[in-house]
Amino acid sequence: MATMDQCMTALKGILGDLAANPAAAGLDRSLSCRLTDLDQVVLGRLRSGSVRDLHAVDDSPGVPKADIRLTMASDDLVALTDGRLAFGPAWASGRVKLEAGLRDLLRLRKLL
């Protein structure tokens, strides 16, 4: 199991790359990443080519629903960022879940 510090570093890297992609220009969306084995949710905002306000909260029913939501185990997050796990196969096998509106999913498809 990865630590919360490792997960925050991994998220900053992967989301930073996503935000810097020209296909993300003009996006202003709330983000969340639920880390199932740590019982934490990382919340943030994708805006103006960067990810802002990343912070972790305890996973509870009161956590606000983000526009773009990821769900995975902490080890899978770290593996995604260091290249040991590819997003497509992880998503297809259910190790990584991505939820968003149809328009966001179509746009994210270009980014992933």
pLDDT in tens, 24-50: 777 889 999 999 999 999 999 988 778
pLDDT in tens, 50-84: 888 999 999 999 999 999 999 999 999 999 888 89
Whether 110 shows a pLDDT value over 60: the answer reads no
- Amino acid identity of residue 66, one-letter, is A
User: What whole-number distance in Å separates Cα of residue 24 and Cα of residue 22?
Assistant: 5
Question: What backbone torsions phi and psi does residue 36 show, to the nearest 5 degrees?
Answer: -65, -35
pTM of the predicted model, to two decimals?
Answer: 0.87
Structure letter (DSSP) for residue 61: T
Q: What is the DSSP letter of 65?
A: P
Q: What sign results for the dihedral spanned by CA atoms 68, 46, 61, 40?
A: positive
| Among the listed residues 9, 70, 11, the one whose alpha carbon sits nearest the alpha carbon of residue 36 | 70
CATH of 4-106, one of 3.40.50.1100, 3.40.30.20, 3.30.1050.10, 3.40.50.2300: 3.30.1050.10
